């Protein structure tokens, strides 16, 4: 028996089959979830920068849109 409490024959055959299936399922789920709550955060930080730098306002807005698309990680 191996340290895991499974015989070498059983341990070698069992793990490879169940692992590949469950991985692809949970990955696509959690990704779309965290995105919705993040967008409201960037707008709060935007007003601080555009005020002192009017010409950079367009660049910040573009960065803000990219940040929202990436989940608000751009400005953070």
pLDDT digits (tens, 9 = 90+) for 12-49: 454 554 445 545 545 555 555 455 555 555 555 555 55
Give the separation between CA 73 and CA 39, rounded to whole angstroms: 10
Which domain covers residue 45, as residue numbers?
35-76
Say what the pLDDT of residue 38 is. 53
pTM score above 0.75: no
Q: What is the mean pLDDT of the chain?
A: 54
Say what the pLDDT of residue 11 is. 46
For residue 9, is pLDDT > 50? yes
Statement to judge: residues 45 and 70 lie in one domain? yes
Give the separation between CA 3 and CA 34, rounded to whole angstroms: 38
Burial bucket for residue 67 (CB in 10 Å: 0-12, 13-18, 19+): buried
Statement to judge: residues 43 and 72 lie in one domain? yes
Statement to judge: residues 40 and 69 lie in one domain? yes
Number of domains observed in the structure of the chain: 2
Phi, psi of 4 (to 5 degrees): -75, -5
């Amino acid at each position: 028996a191996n340290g895991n409490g499974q015989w070498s024959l059983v341990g070698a055959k069992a793990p490879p089959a169940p692992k590949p299936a469950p991985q692809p399922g949970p990955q696509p789920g959690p990704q779309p979830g965290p995105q919705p709550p993040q967008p409201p955060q960037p707008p709060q930080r935007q007003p601080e920068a555009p005020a002192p730098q009017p010409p950079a306002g367009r660049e910040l807005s573009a960065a803000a849109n990219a940040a929202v698309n990436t989940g608000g990680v751009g400005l953070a």
